[in-house]
Amino acid sequence: MLNHQRLIAEFLELVKIDSPTRKERQIAEILKDRLMDLGMDVSEDQTGTAIGGNCGNVFGYLKGNLPEAPTLLLSAHMDTVAPCLNVEPILEEGIIRSAGATILGADDKSGIVPILEALRVIKEHDISHGNIQVIFSVAEEGGLNGSKNLDQSQLKANFGFVLDSGGAPGRIILEAPGQDRINVTIKGKASHAGIAPEEGLSAIVVAAKAIAKMTTGRLDEETTSNVGTIQGGLATNIVAETVTIACESRSRDINKLERHTAQMSETFRQTAEEMGAKAEIEVRRLYAPFKLSRESQVASLAAEAAQSAGLNPEFAATGGGSDANYYNSYGIPCVVLSTGMQKLHTTEEYIKEEDLFSTTELVLEIIKAAGLRTITKR
């Protein structure tokens, strides 16, 4: 039932549209028109204003003809990571990649296009379905700021599916970590590095000693941490007075997340104090973890639909966040579905045509399967 030619043409069209984070207006207007063409009620929230962007989250709502069926959420994000301007997609031997100077944008346009095509198929073939809500979010990259600031009053779904993960279609993400951002400023004392170094206190050295005491990288199967950036100092002949460090801590276990964040923060604080410096520490919870069971309605429906689409359902956990973190925190159980995109966030990003087809078949089977369910308590 899928129109393969239309699907690929639309994917190639959308990846060419510049949509960097907080500048999604052009693609949003196109998607709003296409959702309206599908008979959906379409709206946009004020998230763009809240986050300093030029566009809000796009909502589409399609009334179903199966009143006992649950309301289904299908979601993907519109923004892409740099370098993402002037993408030139190349299709060769069933594989789509960029010309090499940019990312491709399969993250996450390989989520958007299957949603649109599946909706067209149910309309063209008069397939019965329950109510369907679509959300195309902004600013997912760099902290889930679109879903974080989303207008919750517009949420109507009982459960949902976020199309936003690498790996083969059929992979169903049930667990994802929360993330804390740890921003540290170390303040030492400046002096001339050649004439009177003993009169100074290098903030860079203090930071280095603190970091050397930490365990970073993979701490266990569900917990990681990283020191991402260090900035400070003015010149080689000046003992550095100030340095700033940006770190992160992640875990799928909230207690581990809080414990490790506290440990990292305390290490900076204690080391600075021991050396006579000062540490200013800011911790922000970017998003909380989520964990769903295989027996949950949303997970079992995803597995059933994958089998119907001829895929091998595989339950998995991930180390990355997505809009599903926030949807789950808002009381809408959501899993994340793999779309087949590979080598994300690099100029080597690519996707196979067949994976775009399989993902669309999966979305179509999800819509059909949801129509046969009855509403259960969230």
Tell me the domain boundaries of the chain: 4-176+289-371, 178-287
| Tokens read off for 161 | 């599916």
Does 37 participate in catalysis according to the annotation?
A: no
* 228, 300, 328 from 378: Cα distances, Å: 38, 14, 10
For 377, list phi and psi in degrees, rounded to 5.
Answer: -65, 140
Question: What is residue 376's predicted lDDT score, i.e. its pLDDT?
Answer: 63
Q: Supply angle C-alpha 161, 167, 173, rounded to 5.
A: 40
Catalytic residue among 140, 175, 180, 355: 140
**What CATH architecture is 178-287?**
2-Layer Sandwich (3.30)
Residue ranges with strand state E in the chain: 41-44, 58-62, 72-77, 89-92, 95-98, 132-137, 159-165, 171-176, 178-187, 217-220, 223-232, 242-251, 278-287, 290-291, 314-317, 334-338, 350-352
Chain CA centroid to CA 233, Å: 34
CA 139, 323, 344: angle at the middle one, nearest 5? 70
- Give the model's pLDDT for residue 378: 43
Tokens 């763009």 -> residue: 48
CB burial readout 164-203, b (16+ within 10 A) else e: bbbbbbbbbbbbbbbbbbbebbbebebbeeeeeeeebbbb
CA gap 153, 42 in Å, rounded: 14
Relative to beta strand 278-287, strand 89-92 is: unpaired
Q: In terms of DSSP bridges, do strands 159-165 and 72-77 run parallel, antiparallel, or are they unpaired?
A: parallel
Give residue 80's identity as a one-letter amino acid code.
Answer: T
Give me the average pLDDT of each 10-residue run along the chain (378 residues): 96 98 98 98 98 98 96 98 98 97 98 98 97 98 96 97 97 98 98 97 98 96 97 97 98 97 98 98 97 97 98 96 98 98 97 98 97 73
Query: What's the CATH class of domain 4-176+289-371?
Result: alpha beta
CA-based nearest residue to 304, from 355, 367, 378 = 367
User: Which residues are 172's β-sheet partners?
Assistant: 315, 337
Instruction: Determine the pLDDT at residue 315.
Output: 98
CB 171 within 8 A of CB 296: no
State the helix-helix crossing angle for 106-124 and 353-371, rounded to 10 degrees: 50
Closest Cα to residue 114, out of 165, 159, 63, 69? 165
**Cα–Cα distance for residue pair 200/232, rounded to 1 Å:** 15
Is 79 catalytic? The answer is: yes
How far apart CA 111 and CA 351 sit, in angstroms, is: 12
Cα–Cα distance, 292 to 256 (Å, whole number): 18
Tokens encoding 62: 């399609």
Which one of 10, 44, 45, 79 is the catalytic residue?
79
Q: How far apart are CA 44 and CA 47, in angstroms?
A: 9
pTM value? 0.93
**340: phi > 0 → left, psi -120 to 50 → alpha, else beta; which?**
left
Name residue 294's amino acid: R
The closest of 227, 117, 239 to 183, measured between CA atoms, is 227
Phi, psi of 250 (to 5 degrees): -135, 145
pLDDT (0 to 100) of residue 374: 84
Burial 342-353 (b: 16+ CB within 10 A, else e): bbbeeeebbbbb
